[in-house]
Amino acid sequence: MKITPLEIKRQQFKKVMRGYDPVEVDTFLDMLSHELEEIVTKNKELKDKIIELETQLKDYKNMEKTLQQTLLQAQETSGKEIENSKKEATLIVQEAELKASQIVDKARLDFGRIKEEIANLKARKESILSRLKVLLTSEIDLIKALDLDDEDASRRDTSKGTGKDHIEIDEILKKL
C-alpha cells in the first residue's frame, strides 16, 4: 500500500491513557509528511529527467544509426568508385596499348612501302642513267662522226673554221 504525504497529515490516532504525546506525534507526522513530500517531488523530477534522458538517448541512438548507415554507404560508394576507377584505368591502358600497336603496325607498313618505293626509285634512276649514258654515247659518236666530216671538209677548205669548242662528254657522264 502506498502512503501519500496527505494521508500522513490526515492520520488520526485514538487517544488513550498513557499513550504518546499528541503534539510530539503530530510534529513527527508533519516532519515525516514534509520529508515524504520532498522525496515524492524529487522522485517525480528524477522520473521526468529519466524520461528526458531516455528520449535524448533514443535520439542519439537514431543519429548513431543514421551515421553508421551513412558511413557504410560512403564506404560502399568509395569502394565502388575505386573499383570503377581501376576498371577505367585498365581500359585506358588497354586502349593505349591497342593504339600503340596500331601505330607501330602502320609505321612498319609505311616503312616497308617507303623502302619499296626507294628501291623502285633507285631502279628508275639506274634505268634513266643507263638510257642517258646510251643516248649521250650515241650523241658523242654522232658528234665525233660530224667532227670527222667537218675535219675532212675543213682540210678541203682551210679558210673555214668550225667554231665549235671541244666538249668532254666523258667528264659530263662522270658527273652524272
When pLDDT is averaged across residues 82-90 and rounded to a whole number, the result is 94
For residue 100, what pLDDT is reported?
96
| Residue spans per domain, the chain | 5-157+165-175
Q: Are 29 and 9 in contact (CB under 8 A)?
A: yes
pLDDT tens digits, residue range 100-123?
A: 999 999 999 999 999 999 999 999
The one-character DSSP state at 166 is P
Q: Is the dihedral of CA 38, 7, 22, 16 positive or negative?
A: negative
For the full predicted model, state whether its pTM sits above 0.85: no
**Based on C-alpha coordinates, what's the Rg of the chain?**
64
Q: Are 5 and 36 in contact (CB under 8 A)?
A: yes
Q: What three-state secondary structure class fits 4?
A: coil
How many CB atoms are closer than 10 A to CB 3? 11
What's the pLDDT band for 36 if we cut at 50, 70, 90? confident
Q: Which of 172, 101, 165 is nearest to 132 (CA)?
A: 172
Assigned C-alpha cell, 77: 560508394
For residue 171, what pLDDT is reported?
63
For residue 149, what pLDDT is reported?
73
pLDDT tens digits, residue range 11-34?
A: 777 777 777 777 888 888 888 888
For residue 25, what pLDDT is reported?
81
Mean model confidence pLDDT for the chain? 85
